[in-house]
Amino acid sequence: MSYVKRVLRMAFAWLEAGLDRIFTPACNPLYHLGALGFLYYWVVAATGIYLFIFFDTGITEAYGSIEAITYEQWYIGGVMRSLHRYASDGMIAMLMVHMLREFALDRYRGARWFTWFTGLPILWMVYAAGISGYWMVWDMLAQYIAIATTEWLDWLPIVGGTIARNFLNPERLDDRFFTLMVFMHIFVPLFLLFVLWIHLQRVTKPTINPPRLLAGGTLLMLLVLSVVKPAESQPPANLDLVPSQVGLDWFYLPAYPLMDVFGNGAVWGLALFGSLLIAVLPWLPPLRRARQKAAVVDLANCNGCTRCAADCPYAAIEMGRRTDGRPFDRQAVVLPDHCVACGICVGACPTAMPFRRASELIPGIDLPDMPIRGLREQIHEAAEGLAGDATIMVFGCDHGYDAAKPAGPEVAVLRLPCIGMLPPAFVDYVLSRNLAHGVVLAGCSDGECHNRNGVSWTNDRLARARDPMLRQRVPRERIETIWSAPVEGWTHRRRIAAFAERLRGLAEAETAERPGKAAE
Ligand code: HEM
Ligand code: SF4
Ligand code: SF4
């Protein structure tokens, strides 16, 4: 399992790095798969409402009404139908890549199991909605799917062969069948919205809208596709004929050829095994990384400022009523089951101040597996090992490029679970105590933090747009940020070398300005 995941991770990392160059990190579609899923959903919903206005739900009228929408409404009906089709296909494509990517990034275990697990019903529902949509056209393809699906359902002993018998007989097709299909095709997507809401319960402020440029490009792509290759029906269904050749939509209907070749039992086995595997995946080995301890609150140091709750990307902190009698209204309360141990809350806490005495460096919230006090000790140890005229302390994260690789005597690297764990006061501390000439903050590619918000919160804190802010006095020219994909070692090394050059330039400029100081 670990090997498969590693190969997938590398494949995604290369793809992401390539797409970063084409689309820029802000518009990289791989970083907005969930939001793209929502965009496709809204396109399907809007075009679906339009089609439903003109669709005739009677069994004998359905085909004709779809033909009329496609060919008699000049372009608009055909385009609406095609948009409906292609946005539905886009949803499946996005969903599959989204699922694969969350797996590859190891974002499906530990506290994240809930979001992963709730993806499973989404998968079934999107397929159910799409397949029932194909039935509604009532062409040869619909007939093939109807017969194959009912036979597939009839294979279950509990159904006892009643579905096909009830709905399909050689002379006619029951009107109830259509009512059922229409109901399913409308009800399932509506219910899907509710399940998507559940899916995002453990994600703080989920990104459900893609950036405008990406949304515009996606809509344009769908529109061009709809004009160039409009969705059309196959010949009308005829229960006296057995459909011999039907063109399949490979996004929604890949299971049907499998039913023909391997039989209904095999496809049931595959569907159930696949679903079971997805359901239990979060609890399969290796579990090491999934077991990091949740953040803990130290009430003696918590003043109830709410910053940790505002910054936690996984809705793992609630502000509760004060329980220790101190004169504050509220206190932070961690929900351990939700916490992924990213440490972003520690970076947000105003009490995580390295300038405090060692005995006092216990912040309001901390990670038991990596207390912030230990980071200050590491900084001092690392500083002792630094030598040169442009020394750099790199704070890297566990998920971007492995920042430890380029370390030499001039560069020290300290690792954090997420760069968002670093309180800005630590940057101030390193520079004001002359522990290094410069500080680099390195992490995942901009726009795609492994822990959702670590990179953006860090950027905002440095830019003094979000609490806790980097103090004004800290020389910005001695700070560099490198947000890169794990495979972008060359970017990382080049940027560090360029930063070292800049630091040397600064030293020369200072010497030239204050020759007296240099002589000292
Ligand atoms: C139409 C289908 C789906 C949509 C629209 C959707 C949407 C989303 C969105 C908007 C997010 C939050 C992104 C963010 O702001 O960071 C998300 C997260 C996630 N999704 Fe989905 N999702 C879908 C299907 C699935 C499926 C099928 C799975 C897996 C079985 C899945 C697994 C996950 C996981 C594990 C996360 C959490 C990632 C993290 O911890 O940062 N999703 N999804
Ligand atoms: S470590 Fe903090 S920020 Fe990260 S999930 Fe846990 S409580 Fe939230
Ligand atoms: S950021 Fe720190 S002080 Fe503020 S509520 Fe959270 S734990 Fe308490």
- Please give the average per-residue pLDDT across 255-275, as a whole number: 93
Q: Is the pLDDT of residue 516 over 60?
A: no
Q: Is 332 in the pocket of ligand 2 (CB under 6 A)?
A: no
Instruction: Please report which confidence band the pLDDT of residue 490 belongs to, taking 50, 70 and 90 as the band edges.
Output: confident
Please give the residue that has the higher pLDDT: either 253 or 404. Answer: 253
% of the chain residues with pLDDT over 70: 93
Q: Is the pLDDT of residue 361 over 90?
A: no
Question: Ligand 2 center to residue 16 CA distance, Å?
Answer: 26
Question: Ligand 1 center to residue 343 CA distance, Å?
Answer: 21
Amino acid identity for residue 249 in this structure: D
- Nearest ligand atom owner, CA of 122: 1
**SS3 (DSSP) at 224:** helix
How far apart are alpha carbons 468 and 452 in whole angstroms? 18
Q: Is the pLDDT of residue 493 over 50?
A: yes
Question: Ligand 1 center to residue 310 CA distance, Å?
Answer: 21
Question: Ligand 2 center to residue 341 CA distance, Å?
Answer: 5
Q: Are 90 and 36 in contact (CB under 8 A)?
A: yes
Q: Is 341 in the pocket of ligand 2 (CB under 6 A)?
A: yes
pTM over cut 0.75? yes
Tokens of 353: 């101040």
Q: For residue 297, what are the β-bridge partners?
A: 365
Q: Is the pLDDT of residue 170 over 60?
A: no
Q: Is 188 in the pocket of ligand 2 (CB under 6 A)?
A: no
- Please give the average per-residue pLDDT across 237-259, as a whole number: 80
Which residue from 203, 214, 252, 276 has its CB within 8 A of the most atoms of ligand 1, so it is best to mutate? 203
- Angle, helices 119-136 vs 140-154, to 10°: value is 130
Q: Which of 336, 421, 371 is nearest to 110 (CA)?
A: 336
Q: Is 302 in the pocket of ligand 2 (CB under 6 A)?
A: no
Q: Is 345 in the pocket of ligand 2 (CB under 6 A)?
A: yes
CA atoms within a 13 Å half-sphere pointing along the CA-CB vector of 88: 29
pLDDT of residue 74: 73
Q: Is the pLDDT of residue 171 over 80?
A: no
Q: For residue 416, what are the β-bridge partners?
A: 397
Please give the residue that has the higher pLDDT: either 128 or 292. Answer: 128
- Nearest ligand atom owner, CA of 365: 3
What are the C-alpha distances in Å from 318 to residues 345, 366, 418?
12, 15, 21
Q: Taking every pair of C-alpha atoms in the chain, what is the biggest distance, in angstroms?
A: 104
Query: Is the sign of the CA dihedral 174, 179, 180, 181 positive or negative?
Result: positive
Residue-wise pLDDT for 402-439, tens only, equals 766 556 789 999 999 999 999 999 999 999 999 999 99
Instruction: Please report which confidence band the pLDDT of residue 468 belongs to, taking 50, 70 and 90 as the band edges.
Output: very high
Amino acid identity for residue 231 in this structure: A
Q: Is 397 in the pocket of ligand 2 (CB under 6 A)?
A: no
Instruction: Please report which confidence band the pLDDT of residue 146 belongs to, taking 50, 70 and 90 as the band edges.
Output: confident
Instruction: Please report which confidence band the pLDDT of residue 359 belongs to, taking 50, 70 and 90 as the band edges.
Output: low
pLDDT of residue 403: 65
pLDDT of residue 520: 46
Residue-wise pLDDT for 192-218, tens only, equals 999 999 999 999 999 999 999 999 999
pLDDT of residue 58: 80
pLDDT of residue 147: 85
Q: Is the pLDDT of residue 517 over 70?
A: no
Q: What is the mean pLDDT of the chain?
A: 90
Q: Is 391 in the pocket of ligand 3 (CB under 6 A)?
A: no
358-364: Cβ within 8 A, 24+ apart? 362/298, 362/300, 362/301, 363/298, 363/301, 364/297, 364/298, 364/301, 364/302, 364/303, 364/308, 364/332
Q: Is 349 in the pocket of ligand 3 (CB under 6 A)?
A: yes
How far apart are alpha carbons 345 and 275 in whole angstroms? 35
| Alpha carbon 405 to chain centroid, angstroms | 27
Q: Which of 341, 353, 330, 333 is nearest to 295 (CA)?
A: 341
Residue-wise pLDDT for 65-97, tens only, equals 999 999 988 789 999 999 999 999 999 999 999
- Please give the average per-residue pLDDT across 374-384, as a whole number: 94
